[in-house]
Amino acid sequence: MTNPSTHPFLQVENLARAYPSPTGHDAVTVFDHVNFRIHKGEFVCVTGHSGCGKSTILNILAGLDSASAGNVFMDGREVSGPSLDRGVIFQSHALMPWLSVLENVSFAVKSRWPSWHKSKIRDHAMRYIELVGLKGAEHKKPSQLSGGMKQRVGIARAFSIEPKMLLMDEPFGALDALTRGVIQDELLKICAETQQTVFMITHDVDEAILLSDKIMLMSNGPHARIAEIVNNTLPRPRERSAIHKQPHYYPIRNHLVDFLVSRSKQFGALRDAPDAPSSPTVFDPEDLIEAEIDPVVHLPPVGKPHIHLVNA
Amino acid sequence: MKTKLTLSQKAGLLSLGLLAVILLVWQLATLPDTHAAAANVDPEYAALMGGGAAKAASSFPTPGAMAQTVWDRLSHPFYDNGPNDKGIGIQLAYSLARVLGGFALAAIVAIPLGFAIGNSRVVYQAINPYVQLLKPISPLAWMPLALYTIKDASASAIFVIFICSLWPMLINTAHGVANVRKDWLDVSRTLEVNPLRKAFRVILPAAAPTILTGMRISMGIAWLVIVAAEMLVGGTGIGYFVWNEWNNLSLTNVLFAIFMIGVVGMALDSIFGVLAKRVAYQE
């Protein structure tokens, strides 16, 4: 394995996005100084309150939106527009309602490999439809499917183009808890099989812990940033039914919830201090257990490389 | 025992009842009032006209006479005895040919242009004032200009149909294209779909229901306008037929023509209804 810290797969540098204010001159900066790296095969979740610009960051990574400042590099090349290298799963599933399940997936496959023969496209699409458990429903229209099944088609479509990276914007946000659980399990399985690199936005702390290798926490906007990064070292394969018995589970969960409830607001004041850290604070589960026992939070020393690769 | 009727059976019965009432009122209103007619007619005029003077008072046909005319005309729809006496099928065919010609030309112009307008805010804003100005003009107002420039009556009628079909298709296409859901466009962007494929595989199917609604409205207007246009240009067509029969004082034929205009209009509309169903999608 090459040393991942020298060759991050995705590198985001000083990303910022400002919108012109509705009243006139002063632009509103939603987020700025956003820096992070994602390594190949890593599953990264981002969470934070509404309005911190998570979706905008995802859209910039997808090439659908552009940043006001900063750069995104993937595989050493700058991201300047949408690309088949980055598959997107939209919250609203974004299936084309006039096409059947198979046609929706085939549309993506044909976009990826335009020279492929019809039957090859079909077989390839069917493989991914089977992967998400929709065999038998391939000729149905999206309107005939439940919300969970639609999102599965979205997943099949995104995986079918075999992207180098998968971007997911709250993919399960609109689903009921039971369906969400089932699809999370499937996603976990597929990602394990394909070693997919994933960047996912979620509001669900448990979802983040179940799926991710790394959880990025964003402070509240305006001027939002990635305030903290938590390395999620819970061993894989993970089981929904057993994960909460892991010793590190509750420390991580409490840390995340505490951040969302209180620290995300305070960060805004902190960041204007002259000695404010320019890179996010990184937590390992071991730190968090200490913090549980000892009320004094042990922050890692400033200047420590802000990416930890733990059993990647 | 009371048997339950379905909704459509009830509606059918009610429709038949209404028809019976209309026919009865019609029959009663057109009963030959020989007494009154004889009393009102000037004896000298009656002498000049023979039996015609008394009959003129009830030249509005009875349902029975009407049915006879409908039967006669529909059993020989395609005879041609010179310019003033052609079968109803021939007249309708002329009108339909003009409508379809003008409509097709309008579709060829309006749908691509609507795509361009719907795709670009700049083009939309540039063209919008012209559309707003030209849209409310009665298509018949173009007739003198068309006659002067084209110098052909039949082609002028087609031009008038073209003009009146243009606007609903143009506006609906632009509207449909401009309102394609951003998600679908984002999907095609992330899949790096080329512009032509995007236009035909994403935008066109997404906007098709709106475009088809525009086409349906256009066809409805075109069928309304062709009657008036043919009354002006004359020669052939259902509009000319109506005017000609008015000049012949044959109200029976006028009524028959009105009925046929309705039937054909309904058929055209239901064709577009079927097409609309085929391109419809449920989100």
Flag if A84 and B191 touch (Cβ within 8 Å): yes
What pLDDT, on the 0 to 100 scale, is given for residue B196?
94
Percent of all residues in chain A with a pLDDT value above 90, rounded to a whole number? 48
* Tokens representing residue A235 in the block: 């061993």
* Contact status of A140 with chain B (Cβ, < 8 Å): no
pLDDT digits (tens, 9 = 90+) for B122-173: 999 999 999 999 999 999 999 999 999 999 988 999 999 999 999 999 999 9
- Smallest Cβ distance to A82: which of B189, B197, B201? B189
d(CA B93, CA B267): 14
d(CA B132, CA B143): 20
Flag if B189 and A64 touch (Cβ within 8 Å): yes
Chains A–B, number of C-beta pairs less than 8 Å apart: 60
Closest-CA residue of A relative to B186 is A64
By three-state DSSP, how is residue B141 classified? Answer: helix
pLDDT digits (tens, 9 = 90+) for A42-57: 999 999 998 888 999 9
- pLDDT of B7 > 70? The answer is yes
- Smallest Cβ distance to B202: which of A62, A90, A96? A96
* Tokens representing residue A20 in the block: 């012109």
By three-state DSSP, how is residue A201 classified? Answer: strand
Given pLDDT bands bounded at 50, 70 and 90, which one contains residue A223? confident
Comparing CA positions, the residue from A254, A104, A105, A239 lying closest to residue A184 is A239
Q: At what angle do helices B251-279 and B204-233 cross, to 10 degrees?
A: 170
d(CA A285, CA A249): 8
> What number of other Cβ atoms are within 10 A of residue A214's Cβ?
25
What pLDDT, on the 0 to 100 scale, is given for residue A180?
87
d(CA A56, CA A25): 22
* Contact status of A83 with chain B (Cβ, < 8 Å): yes
| pTM, rounded to two decimals | 0.83
Domain boundaries, chain B: 88-279
- pLDDT of B5 > 50? The answer is yes
- Smallest Cβ distance to B190: which of A86, A96, A141? A86
Percent of all residues in chain A with a pLDDT value above 70, rounded to a whole number? 87
* Tokens representing residue A13 in the block: 């540098």
By three-state DSSP, how is residue B235 classified? Answer: coil
Question: How many angstroms away from the CA of B207 is the closest CA of chain A?
Answer: 11
Residue with tokens 């096409």: A99
Flag if B192 and A90 touch (Cβ within 8 Å): no
Residues of chain A with Cβ-Cβ distance to B208 below 8 Å are 98
- Smallest Cβ distance to B184: which of A86, A88, A96? A96
What pLDDT, on the 0 to 100 scale, is given for residue B51?
54
Half-sphere exposure of B163 (CA within 13 A, CB side): 21
What pLDDT, on the 0 to 100 scale, is given for residue B35?
59
* Tokens representing residue B8 in the block: 């459509």
- Smallest Cβ distance to A90: which of B183, B206, B279? B183
d(CA B81, CA B85): 5
pLDDT digits (tens, 9 = 90+) for A117-166: 999 999 999 999 998 889 999 999 999 999 889 999 999 999 999 999 99
List alpha helices for chain B, DSSP H.
7-29, 34-40, 43-49, 52-56, 63-75, 88-119, 121-134, 143-150, 153-178, 182-190, 195-198, 204-233, 238-247, 251-279
d(CA A107, CA A242): 39
* Contact status of A96 with chain B (Cβ, < 8 Å): yes
Q: By the 8 A CB rule, do A209 and A253 touch? A: yes
- Smallest Cβ distance to B183: which of A82, A92, A141? A92
Q: At what angle do helices A249-258 and A285-293 cross, to 10 degrees?
A: 80
- Mutation site for B-interface testing, chosen from A96, A106, A109, A157 by largest number of B Cβ within 10 Å: A96
Percent of all residues in chain B with a pLDDT value above 70, rounded to a whole number? 90
Given pLDDT bands bounded at 50, 70 and 90, which one contains residue B36? low
What pLDDT, on the 0 to 100 scale, is given for residue A274?
52
- pLDDT of A233 > 90? The answer is no
> What's the CATH number of domain B88-279, 3.30.70.1380, 3.40.630.30, 1.10.3720.10, 1.10.10.10?
1.10.3720.10
Flag if B206 and A87 touch (Cβ within 8 Å): no
> What b-and-e string marks burial along B108-123, b requiring 16 or more CB atoms within 10 Å of the CB?
eebbebbbebbbeeee
- Smallest Cβ distance to A94: which of B187, B201, B208? B187
Q: Which helix (H) or strand (E) holds A289?
A: helix A285-293
Question: How many angstroms away from the CA of B190 is the closest CA of chain A?
Answer: 5
**Phi, then psi, of B77 in degrees rounded to 5:** -75, -20
CA A211, A36, A287 angle in degrees (round to 5)? 65
- pLDDT of B2 > 50? The answer is yes
* Contact status of A109 with chain B (Cβ, < 8 Å): no
By three-state DSSP, how is residue A231 classified? Answer: strand
Instruction: Please spell the DSSP secondary structure of B31-95, one letter per residue.
Output: S--HHHHHHHS-HHHHHHHTTHHHHHTT-SPPHHHHHHHHHHHHHSTT-B-STT-B-HHHHHHHH
Flag if B206 and A98 touch (Cβ within 8 Å): yes
d(CA A202, CA B82): 79
pLDDT digits (tens, 9 = 90+) for B51-63: 555 554 457 888 8
Distances (CA, A) of B54 to B51, B57, B59, B245, B247: 6, 6, 10, 21, 20
Across the strands, what pairs with A20? A27
Using the Cα atoms of residue A61, residue A70, residue A195 and residue A307 in order, give the sign of their dihedral: negative
* Contact status of B276 with chain A (Cβ, < 8 Å): no
Question: How many angstroms away from the CA of A96 is the closest CA of chain B?
Answer: 7
Residues of chain A with Cβ-Cβ distance to B198 below 8 Å are none
The residue-averaged pLDDT of A167-186 equals 88
d(CA A248, CA B30): 97
Given pLDDT bands bounded at 50, 70 and 90, which one contains residue A273? low
d(CA B110, CA B176): 13
d(CA A233, CA A209): 9
Given pLDDT bands bounded at 50, 70 and 90, which one contains residue A6? low
- Mutation site for A-interface testing, chosen from B183, B185, B186, B190 by largest number of A Cβ within 10 Å: B190
d(CA A201, CA A45): 6
Flag if A94 and B202 touch (Cβ within 8 Å): no
* Contact status of A65 with chain B (Cβ, < 8 Å): no
Flag if A82 and B205 touch (Cβ within 8 Å): no
pLDDT digits (tens, 9 = 90+) for A7-20: 789 999 999 998 88
pLDDT digits (tens, 9 = 90+) for A79-131: 989 999 999 999 888 999 999 999 999 999 999 999 999 999 999 999 999 98
